Structure 1
Amino acid sequence: MVKRQVPNPAEIFELLKFKKVELNGKKRRLESALTIHDLRDIAKRRTPAAAFDYTDGAAEGEISLSRARQAFEDVEFHPSILKDVSHVDTTTQVLGGSSAMPFGIAPTGFTRLMQTEGEVAGAGAAGAAGIPFSLSTLGTTSIEGVKAANPHGRNWFQLYVMNDREVSYGLVERAAKAGFDTLFFTVDTPVAGARLRDKRNGFSIPPQISLGTVIDALPRPWWWWDFLTTPQLEFASFSSTGGTVGELLNAAMDPSIDYEALEEIRAIWPGKIAIKGVQNVEDSKRLADLGVDGIVLSNHGGRQLDRAPVPFHLLPEVVREVGKDTEVMVDTGIMNGADIVASIALGAKFTLIGRAYLYGLMAGGREGVDRTIEILSEEIVRTMKLLQVNSIEELEPRHVTQLTRFNRVPKESSTTIL
């Protein structure tokens, strides 16, 4: 029999621990976010449907995005044991410079639409964290504005070649003059993908006020207050506005770009150059033979060709073929620091986050981006410690198995179970 007694009030009071009430609403909601998915939930509550869906959505049936995220969820890790991991080093070298973490912020378009601080918040947070920030040609902050927000950090510029090539090449020269050290030449956007959420929402740049948007705005007055009381939302690098995203892209982009355009760009760009949007081994090999500094395996976050290859699935084969000659990076679908660790283990030199960054931005501006970086960084460190590796360099293919639901990865791959 268990002996029972009357509770001692003094002992009960010792057990009572009241959490300090946080009066700052933004700080309170960001502290409550423990994952990127939590930040997404907050972002959805605080952002009008059209702006949120522009970020959250992908092309057509959104199959490419779903598969990319599933690929990371299907990772199996293989940890070691009995190693001292009281300290791990997450720093890495990429494209001629250092990064405190093995990820940077990807280029995103129309960023001030999601939250009015836009690229300034992203660049400032990246600089504070010691990771690179990428500015899109379709950005809503100028090249010079990003440099001012991140004066001592690494800034990268992502280039779309537009119909007026002189405008594009002028942007390359401006980025070089501003001290940007890397150029991302994006090659997967000859025309816009069919982003059906945007069409259903009647999404346009700039946003149009209708009965639907007014109704949607009622529970989100802070977003509209920011939108209406800050400088007009427009592209910082060119003047085309008015229309759906697809219409703007189709009007602006040059579908005739080829390898000659790549050579023209290389002739005027003094820094490192990486080709973004590579989706097969053959193109990777040709680019490596041409001597580019890096390639980014990417299907544009699933926003262009639906059912495109999953970049994470391509990674081991591409690294085997060209990894000794060029730096292989990967994006699309990253929602956890473990996704980043798995990518590095399979040979990626670096990774890029897009939606994860924008969820944080929508959830809380600059502080929300800081929280995104903090969450991913904590997950990276924890995953490395549980794998029992001390540095990025120690991560190897033996640490990861890709469990795949498709037959895309070659059978001879030792990292795949079919």
Structure 2
Amino acid sequence: MTSVLGRPATLPFGVAPTALQRMAHPEGESANARAAQTRGAVFILSTLSTTPLEDVAVAASDARKWFQLYIYKDRGVTRQLVQRAQEAGFEAIVLTVDAPIFGIRYADTRNKFSLPPHFEVANFKGITRSDMTSSGTGSGVNEYVAGLLDRSLTWKDVAWLKSITQLPVILKGILTVEDAELAVKHGAAGIIVSSHGARQVDTVPAPLEVLPGIVDKLKGTSCEVYIDGGISTGTDIFKAIAIGARMAFVGRPAVWGLACGGQQGVEKVLGILEDELRITMMLSGVSSIEEINRDYVDIPTVWTSASKL
């Protein structure tokens, strides 16, 4: 057991935000959240969900749920989403800071990816365009978000977000020591060291590479450090914790489980990760999460000083 945001957490890993999950299974985000609830994992809901956040909250009323957010050109949309998440019982806002625009995703462009007509971006229904069922010359997803996201964001917008909610704000997409320090300066309750699934900029460091330097720099602050990206086994989780992450998040593996077996598929994936972590701990001579430290990993020297892209 560990703790996050001042509360006990059953597992030191959770489910990262991934969009459009009803494309993987009819019950989509609700099934994923229920699986996280059953296993005791923190679940982060994507803004670009195909299930309304209120429905997810009802489906997994006892789950620890965080809400992932972008800041939109129309600040009224942003404000409404934050208010709805707060009222629905989500316990944190996870602001993605590495995507003022989406990166070049050649597969989406080549396939002119868009949502099937019976799906929509459910959280936006009634407040802005929720239809992502068409594409022009390229990716329908890129074209959709390009029309909504505010590209002019600066650190002052973190202060604005904090001013409109009582919930803790976590910044997702931090990859440098400098940005981690700025996150602390601007009042972030936590950061997620992340490269957005390696889909924004090619050749950036893997999150695990920059994690040691960020953890060392934030030592002694109240800002919690999490990680996502490339986490697919229990040994990955063990290594992330050993380096200093409070919690690791998995995205793709949960969606794979969802596609294969709905809620039970995600539960199976989370169970595999838990078993792998538990056995890794036992074979390493560790009986609690608190005992895991850097003595159990071999960190390349260059990682501990990595701070720039």
Shift of 1:403: 5.0
Residue equivalent to 1:190: 100
Residue 226 of structure 2 aligns to a residue in which SS? Answer: strand
TM-score normalized with structure 1 length: 0.68
Q: Give the Cα separation in 2 of the matches to 1:288 and 1:94.
A: 16
Q: Flag the structure with larger Rg.
A: 1
Residue equivalent to 1:202: 112
Asked if structure 1 preserves the Cα contact closer than 8 Å seen for 2:213 and 2:303, the reply is no
Q: Give the Cα separation in 2 of the matches to 1:121 and 1:192.
A: 27
**Residue in structure 2 matching 1:363, options 235, 256, 260:** 260
2:181 pairs with 1:285: yes
Shift of 1:386: 0.6
Q: Give the Cα separation in 1 of the matches to 2:14 and 2:253.
A: 11
What is the letter of the counterpart of residue 155 of structure 1?
A: K
2:217 pairs with 1:321: yes
Residue 252 of structure 1 aligns to a residue in which SS? Answer: coil
Q: Give the Cα separation in 1 of the matches to 2:293 and 2:109.
A: 43
Q: Give the Cα separation in 2 of the matches to 1:245 and 1:299.
A: 19
Q: Give the Cα separation in 2 of the matches to 1:262 and 1:350.
A: 22
Q: Give the Cα separation in 1 of the matches to 2:108 and 2:304.
A: 33
Residue equivalent to 1:255: 151
2:9 pairs with 1:99: yes
Residue equivalent to 1:391: 288
Asked if structure 2 preserves the Cα contact closer than 8 Å seen for 1:96 and 1:272, the reply is no
Asked if structure 1 preserves the Cα contact closer than 8 Å seen for 2:82 and 2:165, the reply is yes
Unaligned 5+ residue runs, structure 2? 125-129
Q: Give the Cα separation in 2 of the matches to 1:382 and 1:327.
A: 26
Q: Give the Cα separation in 1 of the matches to 2:63 and 2:6.
A: 13
Q: Give the Cα separation in 1 of the matches to 2:288 and 2:98.
A: 33
Q: Give the Cα separation in 1 of the matches to 2:7 and 2:25.
A: 30
**Residue in structure 2 matching 1:120, options 23, 30, 45:** 30
Shift of 1:408: 5.5
Question: Residue by residue, what CA displacement relative to the aligned partner does 1:203-241 show, whole Å, maximum 9, x if unpaired?
Answer: 21236xxxxxxxxxxxxxxxxxxxxxxxx2111111242
Q: Trace 1:90-239 onto structure 2 (pairs within 5 A).
A: 91-206=1-116, 232-238=118-124, 239=130
Shift of 1:180: 0.7
Shift of 1:291: 2.7
Q: Give the Cα separation in 1 of the matches to 2:9 and 2:248.
A: 11
Residue identity over aligned pairs, in percent, reads 40
Residue equivalent to 1:54: none
What is the letter of the counterpart of residue 410 of structure 1?
A: S
Unaligned 5+ residue runs, structure 1? 1-90, 208-231, 412-418
Asked if structure 2 preserves the Cα contact closer than 8 Å seen for 1:274 and 1:294, the reply is yes
Q: Give the Cα separation in 2 of the matches to 1:337 and 1:323.
A: 25
Shift of 1:409: 4.8
Shift of 1:320: 0.6
**Residue in structure 2 matching 1:246, options 132, 135, 142:** 142
Q: Give the Cα separation in 2 of the matches to 1:356 and 1:169.
A: 31
**Residue in structure 1 matching 2:236, options 328, 333, 339:** 339
Q: Give the Cα separation in 2 of the matches to 1:124 and 1:94.
A: 20
Q: Give the Cα separation in 2 of the matches to 1:386 and 1:329.
A: 24
Q: Give the Cα separation in 1 of the matches to 2:276 and 2:197.
A: 22
Q: Give the Cα separation in 1 of the matches to 2:181 and 2:155.
A: 14
Q: Trace 1:296-315 onto structure 2 (pairs within 5 A).
A: 296-315=192-211
Q: Give the Cα separation in 2 of the matches to 1:153 and 1:285.
A: 31
Q: Give the Cα separation in 2 of the matches to 1:323 and 1:188.
A: 23
Which 4+ runs in 1 deviate beyond 4 A?
none
**Residue in structure 2 matching 1:375, options 272, 285, 305:** 272
How many residues matched? 295
Question: Residue by residue, what CA displacement relative to the aligned partner does 1:46-81 show, whole Å, maximum 9, x if unpaired?
Answer: xxxxxxxxxxxxxxxxxxxxxxxxxxxxxxxxxxxx
Query: In angstroms, what is the RMSD of aligned CA positions?
Result: 1.5
Question: Residue by residue, what CA displacement relative to the aligned partner does 1:18-49 show, whole Å, maximum 9, x if unpaired?
Answer: xxxxxxxxxxxxxxxxxxxxxxxxxxxxxxxx
Q: Give the Cα separation in 1 of the matches to 2:210 and 2:131.
A: 35
Q: Give the Cα separation in 2 of the matches to 1:348 and 1:296.
A: 9
Q: Trace 1:21-40 onto structure 2 (pairs within 5 A).
A: none
